[in-house]
């Protein structure tokens, strides 16, 4: 038989029923705003949003978010997987971005669409990729001027167009497109000089680069070959 003291101890340990009811549905300790049911800390959420907004999380441009991403990499990967996305990280160049996960035969909605690049876009990307590789080999920043890009693309003018004015317009449109996606980042205090983002090294496979480089070299030499533009994951359709 329990003593009165035992009953008193048990009564003291049991939480009041009104306190239990008040805690039901309470937001988690990581809640940042009213109605917030998220579990990630503020800075981790910022890193996740930057990855989804794209085109990349760059350790140099996002110096505060880079260590957060590395610290909470598993949690970020888990949340991206919920959207059928995977995280790509290059620790050497401090660049990370998302791409569609390889889901095999499983039918899933696509958050990122495969953006088809035009022939001129592809040639420009290949040129920038080569410049980036050369700069890395010498331990330098990959910097390129507008007139250099235009001169390089002129080699392919015959394959792309017979209208010189129209071709020049397409070249400048391609430059604007890669600027839009932050592959080219304008250098301060310069009108026409840009730094090539290291993200470019991760966007296309080595096989794609090698195949198209050989193909476009033949085209520049005057051979008649079928154009095969590149394609890349993107958050929106390109015109």
Tokens representing residue 78 in the block: 């888990």
DSSP one-letter string for 72-124: THHHHHHHHHTTTEEEEEETTTTEEEEEE---TT-----SSEEEEPPHHHHHH
Residue pair 202/90 in contact (Cβ under 8 Å)? The answer is yes
What pLDDT sits at residue 161? 61
Q: Residue 45: its pLDDT value, please? A: 96
Rg (CA), the chain: 26
For the stretch 180-226, pLDDT in tens is 877 888 888 887 899 998 878 777 666 767 776 776 666 666 655 45
- Per-residue pLDDT tens over the stretch 45-62: 999 999 988 778 988 889
In the block, residue with structure tokens 């392919």? 156
| Helix (H) / strand (E) containing 223 | none
CA distance 114 to 162: 29
pLDDT of 235 strictly over 90: no
Q: How far apart are CA 98 and CA 53, in angstroms?
A: 10
pTM over 0.75: no
Name the band, by pLDDT with cuts 50, 70 and 90, for residue 89. very high
Torsions phi, psi for 220 (to 5 deg): -65, -25
From the list 155, 154, 132, the residue with the least C-alpha distance to 209 is 132
Residue 126 pLDDT more than 70?
yes
């Amino acid at each position: 038989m329990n003593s009165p003291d035992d009953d008193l101890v048990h009564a003291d340990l049991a939480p009041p029923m009104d306190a239990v009811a008040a805690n039901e549905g309470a937001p988690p300790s990581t809640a940042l705003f009213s109605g917030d049911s998220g579990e990630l800390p503020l800075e981790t959420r910022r890193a996740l949003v930057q990855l989804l907004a794209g085109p990349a999380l760059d350790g140099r441009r996002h110096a505060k978010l880079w260590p957060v991403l590395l610290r909470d990499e598993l949690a970020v990967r888990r949340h991206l997987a919920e959207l059928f996305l995977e995280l790509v990280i290059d620790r050497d160049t401090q660049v990370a971005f998302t791409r569609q996960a390889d889901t095999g035969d499983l039918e899933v909605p696509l958050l990122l669409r495969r953006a088809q690049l035009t022939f001129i876009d592809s040639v420009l990307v290949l040129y920038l990729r080569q410049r980036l590789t050369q700069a890395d080999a010498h331990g330098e920043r990959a910097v390129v001027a507008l007139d250099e890009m235009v001169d390089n693309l002129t080699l392919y003018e015959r394959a792309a167009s017979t209208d010189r004015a129209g071709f020049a317009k397409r070249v400048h449109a391609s430059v604007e497109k890669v600027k839009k996606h932050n592959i080219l980042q304008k250098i301060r205090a310069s009108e026409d000089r840009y730094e090539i983002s290291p993200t470019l090294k991760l966007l296309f496979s080595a096989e794609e680069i090698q195949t198209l480089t050989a193909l476009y070299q033949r085209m520049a030499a005057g051979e008649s070959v079928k154009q095969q533009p590149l394609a890349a994951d993107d958050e929106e359709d390109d015109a």
